[in-house]
Homo-oligomer: A and B are copies of this chain.
Amino acid sequence: MKIGILGAGQLGRMLALAGYPLDLDFVFLDPATEACAAPLGTHIHADYVDEHALAEFCVGVDLATYEFENVPAKTAEFVAGRIPLLPAPVALTVGQDRLSEKTLFDKLGIPVPRYMPVATREALEIAVKNVGLPAVLKTRRLGYDGKGQAVLRKAEDLDKAWAAIGGQPLILEAFVPFEREISCLAVRGKSGELRFYPVVENVHRDGILRVARPRADDPLQAAAEAHATRVLEHLGYVGVLAFEFFVASGKLYANEIAPRVHNSGHWTIEGADCSQFENHLRAIAGLPLGSTALRGPSVMVNFIGNTPSNEALAAIPGVHIHHYGKAPKPQRKVGHATVTAGNDAELETRLAQLQALVAAVES
């Protein structure tokens, strides 16, 4: 079976690495010249709105998916009109607009921070009155890794925030004084079969995920699964979906969903019975899903900007190296490592060694 993937970044690369053993082949469409999944399949080097290239992409594959949530709606429609595109385009439509997302969460009874859409400078004043401060002003579309966001702590911050990101559709969200940020990686098969990985505790810095750690027996596992189930079933979703939450006063508040495999699930390659990448492929290919159970303690650390040397990484027991084949660049995700261990204490020791290496090179 040949799978078409819109996007050829590291998520596409890890999908392909998980897919060859299942007898899948891959075609990627990505406008980047040095798309890092390209060595692992056929790379159609074209813009997402190039209909000639999209037609070529569709002719060559049995079904398509995406590894990039900002695939233009027109592109998704074009592809879905010709071959199965999973998850269905509606997930992209919802996930690309923070207002649609929050509206859906509201409709499904999933708690969200207070929010209000903001179209003008005047509307921002009104939104601040309603939502309160501190709050986060965000672009409704195309934000990622903390880009397109401004924190408002006091009235004087409004002008600066507006100057930075005003003039496009925005949303103001109450700042949640969270104790933790967690994500729930969920997967739904074509038959409606559902599986959930243990919730993951995430640490961000400068808006970029740094550390993701699955938590066995988290008290919020059941609540996170219930929320994810509502979204998956409402969207008739097929594939892996990541649902990010804030935890405040021990309760979940929905932050956002990503209709794809997710950085906070990379630990599943070594840390779970069946990885998020394989489960996404199983789901879209119509196969029974794999077990999402933990194989033991694990934690993932991102390489941001640069990577420690393989010599240093490989010297730490239990460290599993994942380079993405990308050139170093400040704030760019260029790889990650997952640490596994026989017990939590051993995991902490190894994690501390790994973090020291990462801190010495990251940019």
> What is the interface of chain A, defined by CB distance below 8 A to chain B?
13, 17, 20-23, 25, 39-41, 273, 282, 285-291, 295-296, 307, 310-311, 314-315, 317-318, 320-323, 325, 335, 340
Contacts and interface: CB of A to CB of B under 8 A. Distances in A.
Given A20-B13, A20-B40, A39-B25, A314 B282 contact: yes
Copies in the complex: 2
Contacts of A325: 20, 23
Contacts of A296: 295
A33 to B, nearest CB: 17
The 6 closest A-B pairs by CB, nearest first: A23-B323, A287-B314, A288-B315, A288-B314, A21-B322, A287-B310
Contacts of A321: 21-23
A22 B289 CA distance: 28
A335 B291 CA distance: 21
Contacts of A291: 317-318
A290 B307 CA distance: 19
Contact of A21 (B288, B295, B323, B340): B323
Contacts of A340: 273
A17 to B, nearest CB: 6
Contacts of A25: 39
Nearest to A312: B288
A346 to B, nearest CB: 12
A289 B285 CA distance: 36
A93 B23 CA distance: 35
B20 A310 contact: no
27 contacts: A13-B20, A17-B20, A17-B21, A20-B39, A20-B40, A20-B325, A21-B320, A21-B323, A22-B310, A23-B307, A23-B310, A23-B323, A23-B325, A25-B39, A39-B40, A39-B41, A273-B317, A273-B340, A286-B311, A287-B310, A287-B311, A288-B311, A290-B314, A291-B317, A291-B318, A295-B295, A295-B296
Nearest to A315: B288
Contacts of A320: 21
A108 B339 CA distance: 39
A238 B161 CA distance: 59
A325 B311 CA distance: 33
A106 to B, nearest CB: 37
